[in-house]
């Protein structure tokens, strides 16, 4: 009987030690999509996109007008003016490309700026929930990463380095 009790305790004790570590998971993308601030951000982003689109359309209209004018008059133009007009058209193409790149970059930057406070708010809530509920780790299913790590978690880097004879 004593032997069975000892074997039982040896089997149960490791499980009891592991049971103290609480693991959790979260889907931050789902939480982000449910945040009320997202509607305001989406509205502002749509306004910015409309402004950029309007500017782009204006440049494209100007570009197509120049091309049409060039095509209509190129037969009667002296060669030097023809080359000047072609250079203008090429410059306009480059400006349109640059504007498009600038618009995309600006929109991405603005979106990041507006999302940052919301993301920080979510991170803060995750950290608070993790600490209040004694979680050791919380995994994010959306990014497949750890979003919370308890200060009580064990860092075994030194042990692995020692095992590999690394300094």
Say if 113 falls within a structural domain: yes
Dist. CA 27–CA 14, nearest whole Å: 30
Position 16 scores a pLDDT of: 45
- The pLDDT tens digits of the residues spanning 71-92 come to 998 889 899 999 999 999 999 9
Please count the other Cβ atoms lying within 10 Å of the Cβ belonging to residue 138.
21
* Alpha-helix runs per DSSP H in the chain: 2-19, 28-34, 37-73, 79-132, 157-163
Specify whether the CB–CB gap between 107 and 52 falls below 8 A: yes
Confidence band for 3, pLDDT divided at 50, 70 and 90: low
Dist. CA 44–CA 118, nearest whole Å: 15
Domain of residue 115: give its range.
Answer: 22-163
Position 8 scores a pLDDT of: 45
- The position carrying tokens 């074997």 is 7
Q: What is the mean pLDDT of residues 60-65?
A: 95
Position 152 scores a pLDDT of: 85
Phi first, then psi: give them for residue 21, nearest 5 degrees.
Answer: -80, 120
Q: What is the mean pLDDT of residues 67-73?
A: 91
- The pLDDT tens digits of the residues spanning 4-52 come to 444 544 544 454 444 567 899 999 999 999 999 999 999 999 999 999 9
Q: What is the mean pLDDT of residues 85-107?
A: 95
Dist. CA 161–CA 29, nearest whole Å: 36
Specify whether the CB–CB gap between 120 and 105 falls below 8 A: no
Confidence band for 157, pLDDT divided at 50, 70 and 90: confident
- Number of structural domains found in the chain: 1
Specify whether the CB–CB gap between 29 and 35 falls below 8 A: no
Say if 63 falls within a structural domain: yes
Q: What is the mean pLDDT of residues 54-64?
A: 95
Question: How much is the pTM?
Answer: 0.70
Say if 2 falls within a structural domain: no
CA distances from 63 to 85, 93, 159 (A): 11, 8, 66
E strand spans, the chain: 23-26, 137-140, 145-149
Say if 96 falls within a structural domain: yes
In this structure, of 3-12, 61-70, 100-109, 119-128, the range with the lowest mean pLDDT score is 3-12
Say if 14 falls within a structural domain: no
């Amino acid at each position: 009987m004593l032997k069975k009790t000892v074997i039982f305790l040896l089997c149960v004790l490791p499980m009891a030690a592991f049971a103290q570590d609480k693991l959790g998971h979260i889907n931050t993308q789902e939480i982000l999509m449910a945040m009320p601030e997202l509607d305001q951000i989406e509205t502002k982003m749509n306004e910015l996109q409309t402004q950029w689109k309007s500017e782009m359309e204006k440049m494209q209209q100007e570009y197509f007008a120049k091309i049409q004018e060039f095509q209509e008059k190129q037969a009667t133009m002296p060669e030097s003016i023809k080359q000047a007009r072609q250079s203008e058209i090429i410059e306009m193409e480059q400006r349109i490309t640059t504007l498009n790149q600038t618009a995309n970059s600006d929109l991405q930057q603005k979106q990041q700026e507006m999302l940052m406070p919301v993301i920080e708010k979510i991170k803060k809530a995750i950290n608070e929930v993790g600490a209040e509920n004694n979680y050791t780790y919380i995994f994010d299913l959306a990014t497949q990463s750890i979003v919370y790590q308890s200060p009580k978690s064990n860092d075994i880097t030194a042990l692995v380095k020692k095992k590999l004879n690394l300094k």
